Amino acid sequence: MSGNEDRSERDDRSERDGRVESDGGATGEPSRTAGEQSRFAAADRVTSVPPSGIREFFEVAENRDDVISLGVGEPDFTAPWPARSAAIESLERGRTSYTANRGMPDLRRAIAERVTRYDQSYDPDSEILVTTGASEAVDLAFRAFVNPGDTVALPTPTYVSYEPGVRFAGGEPLAVHTRHEDDWALTPEALREAGADEADVLVLCYPNNPTGATMDADEMDAVADFCRRHDLLVVADEIYAALTYEGDHQSVATRPGMRERTVVINGFSKAYAMTGLRLGYAMGPEPAIDAMTKVHQYAMLSAPTTAQHAALAAIRRCDDEVERMRREYDRRRRYVVSRLRELGLEVAEPGGAFYAFPRVADVAPEGDARAFATDLLEAEGVAAVPGTAFGAGGEGHLRMSYATGLDDLKEAMARLERFLS
Ligand SMILES: Cc1ncc(COP(=O)(O)O)c(C=O)c1O
């Protein structure tokens, strides 16, 4: 299967359905009349959340057909065939009922076995919950553990859904700035400076969206130490763990004294290119998973049955495909990083996920990355996401996804070169 074929299939889907950005920006919503808007005035906690910066930007990109998008946060591959065929087979066999609230026991056992590769050990009966995407697991974690007024420390820049999720749960987000100069790693100094020693919860996303940053063993030890000392509960979103290119994936939950204070979130969207099947999971000590299951039970009942069958096949039969995709991302990553540096842009080495996060502050009008992204889109038809869509810490940067075929990446870099000169 070639990257280009995959891409055209994906574009077909987007055209049919109205694109929904996997990382938080819905587009193509029907317009509403003023009457409808006033009748359904949203609750304060909803209006307090601004619209996604990604969505705003992609509405512009969608009106042109010559655009190369480096904006999407989802694989350009199709889910491996064994996963798709298991989904088809489950439907053919008429498996159209709910599963257990926590997910199919076979799938939970397979997950428990799979995560041992990260030195994680969870009891499939009581410590794993299968969810509708990692997104649901993130939302459940906030709803299960954040009391109104609790402070949730969010390293910035980071994935777009955490801050709204914290606000919907009644919590107060606290921005912890990470820096290009530290390769976007989180440090105890940054946590202290932001006042995270007083926080209740810390969210970690490594490998990181949007920077691609990973943490090495020493950096993770230092963060774990800070969390223990200040009694923080940790929500660790490790959805890109399998897409790690440099060294081994480091999970905070494996550090001494951390398992009992950490909920680990993972899923099938990224590593298995299964975004549309909507399957993820949460792992943690029994009381944590019990609390999250209580919310899940009333909000969702169970994750989609067809997708659970696909996920089971994905774990059992798709390792080679996952490795093939990982190598392809790695090839693109090396290409994009070296081209960006050739063009004179500074970019920290992304050790995981599928994003590069170059600094454009020095070449952007008045240092404004949003203006740079808009001009680049208008002049050359290259779409990249301004870093501030991921929080104030993304100022002066652009997120470029390399979940896009190498030919398109080459053309995008050639256009960027023309634009810069
Ligand atoms: C860090 C991170 N977590 C969670 C998600 C959502 O994953 P899922 O498709 O499993 O809901 C994304 C999607 O972009 C992401 O980047």
Ligand 1: nearest atom to the Cα of 158? 1
pLDDT tens-digit series, residues 253-305 = 999 999 999 999 999 999 999 999 999 999 999 999 999 999 999 999 999 99
Ligand 1 pocket test, pick from 161, 268, 355 with the greatest ligand atom count within 8 Å of Cβ, gives: 161
pLDDT band at 135 (very low <50, low <70, confident <90, very high): very high
- Smallest CA separation from ligand 1 atom 7, residue: 134
**What's the confidence (pLDDT) of residue 3?**
40
Q: pLDDT band for position 44 (50/70/90)?
A: confident
Report the mean per-residue pLDDT for the chain.
91
CB distance 207 to ligand 1 below 6 Å = no
- How far from each other are the two terminal CA atoms of the chain, in whole angstroms? 36
Q: Is the CB of 159 under 6 A from ligand 1?
A: yes
pLDDT at 34 over 70: no
The reply to whether ligand 1 has any atom less than 6 angstroms from the CB of 275 is yes
| Cα 101 from chain centre | 24
Q: How much is the average pLDDT of 60-71?
A: 83
- pLDDT band at residue 51, thresholds of 50, 70 and 90? confident
- Quick one: pLDDT at residue 14? 47
pLDDT at 40: 82
CB of 260 closer than 8 Å to CB of 96: no
What are the helix (H) ranges across 146-187? 162-168
The finding on whether 211 has its CB within 6 A of some atom of ligand 1 is no
- Write the residue with the smallest CA distance to atom 14 of ligand 1: 23
Residue 153 pLDDT greater than 60, yes or no: yes
Q: Is 22 in the pocket of ligand 1 (CB under 6 A)?
A: yes
**Residue-range domains of the chain with CATH:** 3-79+320-420 (3.90.1150.10), 81-317 (3.40.640.10)
**CB-ligand 1 contact for 273 (6 Å cutoff):** no
- Using pLDDT thresholds of 50, 70 and 90, give the confidence band for residue 93: very high
The average pLDDT across 92-117 equals: 98
Ligand 1, pocket-test mutation among 54, 129, 135, most atoms within 8 A of CB: 135
Q: How far apart are CA 369 and CA 106, in angstroms?
A: 47
| Atom of ligand 1 at shortest range from CA of 159 | 1
SS (H, E, C) 231-282: CCEEEEECCCCCCECCCCCCCHHHCCCCHHHEEEEEECCCCCCCHHHCCEEE
pLDDT at 72: 85
What is the tens place of the pLDDT at every residue in 354-413? 999 999 999 988 889 999 999 999 999 999 999 999 999 999 999 999 999 999 999 999
- Ligand 1 atom nearest to CA at 280: 10
Which structure tokens are listed for 291?
């609390």
User: Which pLDDT score is estimated for 29?
Assistant: 45
Strand, coil or helix: 291: helix
Q: Over the stretch 175-226, which tens digit does the pLDDT of each residue have? A: 999 999 999 999 999 999 999 999 999 999 999 999 999 999 999 999 999 9
Q: Strand ranges (DSSP E) for 12-98?
A: 68-69
Task: Say what percent of the chain tops pLDDT 90.
Answer: 82
Q: Is the shortest distance between the CB of 266 and ligand 1 below 6 Å?
A: no
Output the residue whose Cα is nearest ligand 1's atom 12: 23
Return the pLDDT at 17: 46
Distance 191 CA to ligand 1 centre (A): 24
Whether ligand 1 lies within 6 angstroms of the CB of 280 is answered as: yes
